[in-house]
Structure 1
């Protein structure tokens, strides 16, 4: 339920987690919804910087690059975007954010993903540093979310105790 209880607050950075970039280079509907939510929060001036994080998908595209291009096309200045193409897992994204946060002295983050993914992401970000972490979920739901939600429960506890 935490993932459905958005608490977008002003933060130093908005962190948008990656997802599928289609073989033809277009964004999956799920990824576009995440970016649209992040863009909405950025336009509300909740953070001056947006970090996009994802890996190289099996489809052959770097998620971070595709995400940054989408935000730039929507009017976000390139110098307000931090592109992470090594966020292959949620843990890797949290570690990569922590490194950026230390370099750029970011103390708070507003994470954007699907509702079921928010709680674990917030936990991993907190494990990586003394960050204030807020969350907002993408306005996109599909039947597959039920499977993802069930998968997220053991993943949460696995990461909580490792």
Structure 2
């Protein structure tokens, strides 16, 4: 009995969906198992701001986690890294302002406003760590992002990588976890082929939307 092309395509799509789902689950499970211990520096990854320049809930949750890490003595220095999100919207300096308002001293905060993506942040933080001769780094981000961040830091030569995350869940996390699968695959391939690969700002979903919408 011959299978029809539509039947074959459907089976392939179902198989792809199952593999994709399992990969997303594996990434999330691995993120939750990253060790937590005292670090020389904690890297807080940026996220979007409100129109008034204050952190949106996802970024606020990361910063609250960083404040708690600092207060408990597990993170002595907080390295906030992000980029310019629009006119007057500097994510890194907004992160710094939030930490200052929550009692973190200015001399315990390092600001990197050129962290255009995860790899760029890893490169910049690695240079800071080498310059200050420290080796233990704590990564602070959402659970679905930590494994890719850990990979980027490992490829930049970080000796000891820990991680911590906001203990919260949002419906949008389902999409973010799904999106993380191709992002992790691309990072793994690029950094395996070239450990010195340069950071590239590419947003695959926006690219696909632009193709379908015909926008340029």
User: Normalised by the shorter chain, which TM-score bucket?
Assistant: over 0.9
Give CA-to-partner distance per residue, 1:75-106, whole Å, 9 cap, x none.
11101000010011011100111111111112
Find the structure with the greater CA-based Rg: 2
Matched, 1:95 2:123: yes
Contiguous gaps of at least 5 residues in structure 2 = 1-28, 191-216
Higher helix share: 2
Give the superposition deviation at 1:6.
5.1
TM-score by length of 2: 0.72
CA distance in 2, matches of 1:25, 1:137: 23
Q: Residue in 2 aligned with 1:150?
A: 178
Q: Which has the higher contact order (CA 8 A, sep 6+)?
A: 1
Tell me the number of residue pairs that the alignment of Structure 1 and Structure 2 aligns. 162
4+ residue runs over 4 A deviation: none
Counterpart position of 2:4 = none
**C-alpha contact 2:139 2:150 (8 A) present in aligned 1:** yes
In structure 1, what is the Cα distance between the partners aligned to 2:61 and 2:84?
19
Q: Which runs of 5+ in 1 are unaligned?
A: none
CA RMSD in angstroms comes to 1.2
1:131 matched to which residue of 2?
Answer: 159
TM-score normalised by the chain length of structure 1 = 0.95
Q: Is the 8 A contact 2:83 2:90 kept in 1?
A: yes
